[in-house]
Homo-oligomer: A and B are copies of this chain.
Amino acid sequence: MKKELQNNPIGVFDSGVGGLTVVKELAKILPNENIIYFGDTARVPYGTKSKDAVIRFSNEIVGFLMDRKVKLILVACNTASAMALNEISKKVDVKTVGVIESGVFAAISASKRKKIGVIGTEATIKSGAYEKNIKRFDKNIKVINHACPLFVPLAEEGWINNQASKIIAVEYLKSIKNSGADTVILGCTHYPLLKKVIYEVLGRKIKLIDSASEVAKKVKNILEEENLINPSNKKGRKEFFVSDAPQKFKKLGEMFLNEKIVTVTKVNIEGKYV
């Protein structure tokens, strides 16, 4: 039974293509694991939607992943991690991991001045998930939050380091810059694409925390603890599912994943698994 579980894939999902940055890190440190990825491209973005909606969308995706016998579910979307991780973990009998805690842990280790900036989508910032998790570890840490709703469309437009992105970044990062924070959590999987312009605005000394590599380590630890590491010596298989526009996902996804994507399968999960 355990043996069979070990061969099962890890399920990863995101509202779109951004979670592939997490898959990339996962494949680096767990190269023999099979991965099933779901990108909800028909309903992207999640960051402007309500908690109810994000929970409903997440439950449908989790239903789809559980049907494919995943041994662990990694929520690679900050908004879904902030809003739906609790609900999901109550519903399934496999381990569930989100990106929030890993980012928080890395930021707390990195911050000398105990001042941490958090940027994310409107929904993630409104949820207060990062701030609550930071304060749980150390309530003396000062947290400066700022929603950056234009960063995702800027990144998807490929305008990652031009005059417009600079002006927008200056405006969004003003309060964090003025606060003297030495560490900033990039609380959205798209934001690492804007690192260059964020460094320009906040200075090279700022520590930017991108939870992708942290959460990959956490997944490895859990699989080891639970004796669920795939014993195979072969490179793991990656399968990609989307709710809309496989070709667009493939093209954009190869940029995020930094490797060739062979097939992307479109599936309709709306109103199912409920």
The distance from the CB of A271 to the nearest CB of chain B, in whole angstroms, is 2
Stretch at the interface among A65-73, A163-171, A217-225: A163-171
**Cβ of A49 and Cβ of B53 under 8 Å apart?**
no
**Cβ of A50 and Cβ of B244 under 8 Å apart?**
yes
User: Does A157 have its Cβ within 8 Å of any Cβ on chain B?
Assistant: yes
Task: Report the contact-size class of chain A (Cβ under 8 Å from the partner).
Answer: 20 to 34
Mask: chain A, 182-221; 1 = CB below 8 Å from B; 0 = not: 0000000000000000000000000000000000000000
What is the chain B residue whose CB lies nearest that of A16?
B48
User: Does A149 have its Cβ within 8 Å of any Cβ on chain B?
Assistant: yes
Residues of the B chain whose Cβ atoms lie less than 8 Å from the Cβ of A255: none
Mask: chain A, 230-274; 1 = CB below 8 Å from B; 0 = not: 000000000000011100100000000000000000001011100
User: Does A128 have its Cβ within 8 Å of any Cβ on chain B?
Assistant: no
28-80 of chain A: CB within 8 A of chain B: 41-44, 48-50, 52-53, 56
User: Does A144 have its Cβ within 8 Å of any Cβ on chain B?
Assistant: no
**Cβ of B154 and Cβ of A49 under 8 Å apart?**
no
Residues of the B chain whose Cβ atoms lie less than 8 Å from the Cβ of A271: 268, 270-272
Known interface pairs A163-B167, A171-B164. Does A50 touch B245 (Cβ–Cβ under 8 Å)? yes
What is the chain B residue whose CB lies nearest that of A154?
B150
User: Does A156 have its Cβ within 8 Å of any Cβ on chain B?
Assistant: yes
Copies in the complex: 2
**Cβ of A245 and Cβ of B53 under 8 Å apart?**
yes
A and B contact pairs by CB, cutoff 8 A, 23 listed: A41-B49, A42-B43, A42-B53, A43-B43, A44-B48, A48-B156, A49-B245, A50-B245, A50-B248, A53-B243, A53-B244, A56-B268, A149-B156, A150-B150, A150-B153, A150-B154, A150-B157, A150-B159, A163-B167, A164-B164, A164-B167, A167-B167, A268-B271
Mask: chain A, 132-174; 1 = CB below 8 Å from B; 0 = not: 0000000000000000011001101101000110011001000
CA distance A42 to B41 in the complex (A): 12
CA distance A163 to B268 in the complex (A): 41
CA distance A164 to B166 in the complex (A): 9
CA distance A151 to B156 in the complex (A): 13
CA distance A153 to B165 in the complex (A): 13
**Cβ of B156 and Cβ of A164 under 8 Å apart?**
no
CA distance A168 to B44 in the complex (A): 23
Task: Give 11 new A-B contacts, CB below 8 A, not counting A49-B244, A53-B245.
Answer: A42-B43, A43-B43, A50-B245, A53-B243, A149-B156, A150-B164, A153-B153, A164-B164, A270-B271, A271-B271, A271-B272
